[in-house]
């Protein structure tokens, strides 16, 4: 963590120097010191908003993982099923969430459930794509060995396909965790949630209406730090699961 921290300090120093040298007003570009001061001052409000956004992110991420893995298991059972249904998974990925989110919010009366569905749709495709690729990427010799020993379809899945797919699956988790956060924030923007259950997106919108740019930057900082934390957590889980046997974690380069 030392080198990223040093880069962050250098960037913050350059930012602070530019704001000071050019005497930029806070309503245009706040200084890092003012942003951090606002974060501390308004942490009561921003902290509650962070918890709400994090709840939507984690629920949608969990839903995307469960549904994505089940769909991948279905795809790997038959090439015909995968060929028939995979284009619709791609369709979910390429459809802008801002286009379908208003419909989901109208159809689903519960605000939290509607936000979770919107964010899960954003995070779903990497799980399906990576896990399906991993389940297909098995050693042909091992597959022949399992067939020679008359292994059942379930045995092949549990003892050959799933272990082979784990590196791909954890790669999908790293991507999907960040997309779940993005989906949650975008869904909050579209929904325009307000009141007691408000997320960071609402705080950004409200700060923009008030021209409270330091608070806007503080909320953006919280979103960025949350995304980094999710990525680090997924990387740690990957290291924990693969560190003792897979080449991707054993490599020292």
Q: What is the mean pLDDT of residues 146-167?
A: 90
Choosing among 1.10.3720.10, 3.20.20.140, 1.20.810.10, 1.10.1040.50, the CATH entry for 32-138+165-241 is 1.10.3720.10
Q: Is the pLDDT of residue 43 over 80?
A: yes
Q: Is the pLDDT of residue 16 over 60?
A: yes
Q: What is the mean pLDDT of residues 130-150?
A: 91
The chain-wide mean pLDDT, for the chain, equals 90
The least confident of 47-56, 227-236, 237-246 is 237-246
- pLDDT, position 195: 46
Q: Is the pLDDT of residue 114 over 80?
A: yes
Q: Is the pLDDT of residue 127 over 70?
A: yes
pTM: 0.89
The residue among 116 and 244 whose pLDDT is bigger is: 116
Angstrom distance (rounded) from CA 118 to CA 102: 9
């Amino acid at each position: 963590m030392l080198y990223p921290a040093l880069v962050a300090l250098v960037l913050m120093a350059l930012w602070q120097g530019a704001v000071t040298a050019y005497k930029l007003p806070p309503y245009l570009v706040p200084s890092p010191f003012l942003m951090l001061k606002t974060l501390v001052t308004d942490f009561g409000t921003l902290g509650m908003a962070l918890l709400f956004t994090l709840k939507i992110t984690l629920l949608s991420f969990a839903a995307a993982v469960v549904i994505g893995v089940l769909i991948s298991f279905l795809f790997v059972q038959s090439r015909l099923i995968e060929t028939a249904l995979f284009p619709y998974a791609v369709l979910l990925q390429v459809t802008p969430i801002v286009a379908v989110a208003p419909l989901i919010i109208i159809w689903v009366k519960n605000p939290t459930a509607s936000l979770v569905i919107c964010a899960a749709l954003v995070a779903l495709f990497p799980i399906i794509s990576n896990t399906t690729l991993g389940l297909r990427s098995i050693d042909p010799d091992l597959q022949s060995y399992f067939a020679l020993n008359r292994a059942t379809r379930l045995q092949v899945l549990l003892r050959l396909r799933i272990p082979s797919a784990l590196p791909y699956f954890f790669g999908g988790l790293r991507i999907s965790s960040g997309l779940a956060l993005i989906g949650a924030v975008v869904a909050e923007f579209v929904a325009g949630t307000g009141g007691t259950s408000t997320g960071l997106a609402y705080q950004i919108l409200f700060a923009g209406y008030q021209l409270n740019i330091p608070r806007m930057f503080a909320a953006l900082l919280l979103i960025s730090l949350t995304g980094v934390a999710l990525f680090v957590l997924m990387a740690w889980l990957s290291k924990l699961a693969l560190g003792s046997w897979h080449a991707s974690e054993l490599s020292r380069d």
